[in-house]
Amino acid sequence: MQRTKLVTSADLTRQEVDFLMEEAEKLRGKTTQDLSGKICATLFLEPSTRTRLSFESAILRLGGKLINITDATQSSVKKGETLEDTIRVMEQYADLIVMRHPQAGAAERAAAVIQKPFINAGDGPNQHPTQALLDTYTIRREVGGVDGKIITFVGDLKYGRTVHSLLYLLALYKPEKIHFVSPPALRIPPLYTSILQKSGIPFQETQDLLPCLPETDILYMTRIQEERFEDPKEYRRLKGCYILTPALVEQGKNSMKILHPLPRIDEIEHGVDGMVQAAYFRQVENGVYMRMALLKELVKNSSV
Ligand code: NCD
């Protein structure tokens, strides 16, 4: 693996993903000194607790030090500074930057000007490549890998960037089939189904979750992305459209595993949490090891 930046999961290769999953496995439960002497900046210009803390935990476990901006109102962005200038300034202070930004395409702009390692931690409804990596790693740990599996995505498939990013990685493997379950207003954009078409992966779009459950291996639940809606009435109309209950989970195989990028609002009832199918908290833990693997690799490849 040669890269020093990760902007989109679209340009990851299967070889890179397999390599990072192996590395994450080796880093489980460990602390190392791979980032010793490095100052790492987390620049989060959109609300986030878990992704930021997951990165910060990964950085500290690798022996790195942290500086951060967690609130756009604290930064010069508020004074009208361009994103490009913010990045050029931040890289004078830090040896790598992890950025979350509310606008689609912001990560690409930042990566174009930065000389140092850079990771996109989510840019608007566009991409969230480290979530895709940790989801793929979780699928491998929970059901042995993507090949031959039936994966069902449920909820806000229009704005959910974790779904968008993960589809690029699934297309590197051979899933048997993909179901997209959403209300018509939140359908998966054609840009993403075209990735599956190109890779010859069968998929179907539906509003009905129940018929998909008996054959599903991975049930990927998502939150309705309130902050992306222009009309709050439309959000209120769609909120609560899918709620996974223990009774619904019983309609699936015992071996089915439930993933969710979190935070959850109301789409998975708390009664599901204790069921063997619930894998979402293990998914959170996997994220720390996957981010450790990625950070270690990007810094190793960097000469600046
Ligand atoms: C996701 C995100 O930020 O896109 N969460 C996360 O990365 N922990 C999913 C979401 O916010 O719904």
Tens-place pLDDT, residues 89-104? 999 999 999 999 999 9
Contact 219, 258 (CB under 8 A): yes
The tens digit of pLDDT for each residue in 257-285 reads 999 999 999 999 999 999 999 999 999 99
* % of the chain at pLDDT higher than 90: 92
CATH fold of 5-127+287-301? Rossmann fold (3.40.50)
The tens digit of pLDDT for each residue in 134-171 reads 999 999 999 999 999 999 999 999 999 999 999 999 99
> Which part of the chain is CATH 3.40.50.1370?
5-127+287-301, 129-284
For the domain spanning 129-284, the CATH number is 3.40.50.1370
Q: Cite the active site residues.
A: 50-51, 79, 100, 128
Question: Using CA positions, which residue lies closest to atom 12 of ligand 1?
Answer: 223
Give residue 73's pLDDT. 63
Matching residue, tokens 């990735």:
195
The tens digit of pLDDT for each residue in 32-46 reads 999 999 999 999 998
CB-ligand 1 contact for 100 (6 Å cutoff): no
CB-ligand 1 contact for 179 (6 Å cutoff): no
Contact 153, 222 (CB under 8 A): yes
Measured from the Cα of 131, ligand 1's closest atom is 7
Q: Is the pLDDT of residue 77 over 80?
A: no
Q: 84 to each of 34, 81, 94, 113, 181, how far by Cα in Å?
A: 28, 8, 15, 7, 38
Instruction: Report the separation in Å between the CA atom of 259 and the middle of ligand 1, taken as the mean of its atom positions.
Output: 12
The tens digit of pLDDT for each residue in 2-18 reads 999 999 999 999 999 99
Measured from the Cα of 156, ligand 1's closest atom is 12
CB-ligand 1 contact for 54 (6 Å cutoff): no
Give residue 74's pLDDT. 62
Q: Is the pLDDT of residue 75 over 80?
A: no
Pocket test for ligand 1, best of 44, 46, 128 (most atoms within 8 A of CB): 128
Measured from the Cα of 100, ligand 1's closest atom is 3
